[in-house]
Amino acid sequence: MTTKVTLIPGDGIGPGITDATVRILEAAGADLSWDWQLAGMAAVAKHGDPMPEQTLESIRRTRLALKGPLETPVGGGYRSVNVALRKTFDLYANVRPAHTIRPGGRFENVDIVLIRENTEGLYVGIEHYIPVDGDPKAAAESVALVTRAGCERIVRYAFEYAVSHRRKKVTLVHKANILKFSSGLFLEVGREVAKEYAGRVECDDRIVDACAMQLVMKPESFDVIVTTNLFGDILSDEISGLVGGLGLAPGANIGAHAALFEAVHGTAPDIAGKGIANPGALLLAACMMLDHIGDTARADRIRRAFATVIREGKTLTRDLGGTANTDQLTDAIIAAL
């Protein structure tokens, strides 16, 4: 049966890598029908709104979206549409797998899945300036809101993921030594949930700064990592750097009623419009979407074709040290299918 998917090409390099991804999925015979929608700057230009109602309505209908990166103005301007989409659809689990595809890099045996809480913590958007002595921005305050229920469902998601993907260990990453309340609650709840999986999945915990260091010293010692929003955001970019950079890092945002798949990277304004972006991260995100709808065999076939091209090393985009453009890499992947 054809699966309907909301497709949001996004901003910057988004449209180019989306076209490439759609071409590869179609070449692989994926039975998907696309409902093209806008968000981000592209939607501001057309509808005067970064998150138009018709885009939300489409996701409500399909409950499945593949999304290119969206531009977020730094400092002022509208709030992040990515964060808003995750909140609107309560996409609480952000799943970011990273494993070594190309030998010869700094690390050979990285195979880490980072699971980041997506709706709470410092990203809840409760912040304000505090005026003092006529300076309207004398101080600024951001609230890290963490709930027992939110911690429980993300840690449980991580353990269930470990069980269903035959993973051995879940590491709880926190800063409970300093943030005794918000991070302390996460660690306390995490340890409680871990007891239910004793004997099936190992559990340990790490302070986030030590974890960041160990990731670059001994990345092979990590398996599944679960952590709160901000730490997960930072560590997942670090982890993608261990396996060849952002061009290879996909992400899934999963909720009880909808799922949204995207690349970890942003709009890459420095290379936008040049036709040289690596479509790999969005393609691997699309493979996670195929897994999600039960078409794992096709997802594996696309992943194998992609890995073959990357390992051969003849047709690589610049971020991977080659000279190929987006179209050439896309053609090579289709030829390898």
CB of 271 to ligand NAD, least distance (A): 5
CB of 265 to ligand NAD, least distance (A): 3
Helix (H) or strand (E) holding 260, with range, is strand 259-263
Catalytic residue among 11, 87, 92, 123: 123
Rounded Cα distance, 30 and 216, in Å:
37
Q: Does the annotation mark 319 as catalytic?
A: no
Query: Of the two residues 80 and 171, which places its CB atom closer to ligand NAD in the complex?
Result: 80
Q: Does the annotation mark 233 as catalytic?
A: yes
- Laid out side by side, the sheet with 3-8 consists of 32-36, 3-8, 64-67, 259-263, 250-254, 93-99, 111-117, 224-227, 169-174, 202-207
Query: Of the two residues 67 and 298, which places its CB atom closer to ligand NAD in the complex?
Result: 67
In the bound state, the residue with its beta carbon closest to ligand NAD is 266
Contact predicate 105/247, CB 8 Å: no
Q: What is the CA radius of gyration of the chain?
A: 20
Q: What separation in angstroms does the CA of 75 have from each of 68, 124, 196, 201, 270?
A: 22, 16, 43, 42, 19
CB of 270 to ligand NAD, least distance (A): 5
Tokens of 154: 């993300």
Query: Of the two residues 96 and 167, which places its CB atom closer to ligand NAD in the complex?
Result: 96
| Residues forming the site for ligand NAD (CB under 6 A) | 13, 17, 69-72, 82, 246-247, 262, 265-271, 277-278, 281, 317, 319
Q: Does the annotation mark 270 as catalytic?
A: no
Q: Which of 258, 273, 249 is nearest to 326 (CA)?
A: 273
Q: What separation in angstroms does the CA of 81 have from each of 43, 78, 267?
A: 11, 8, 13
CB of 245 to ligand NAD, least distance (A): 7
CB of 269 to ligand NAD, least distance (A): 6
Rounded Cα distance, 317 and 327, in Å:
10
Catalytic residue among 175, 197, 319, 331: 175
334 DSSP assignment? H
Active site members? 123, 175, 209, 233
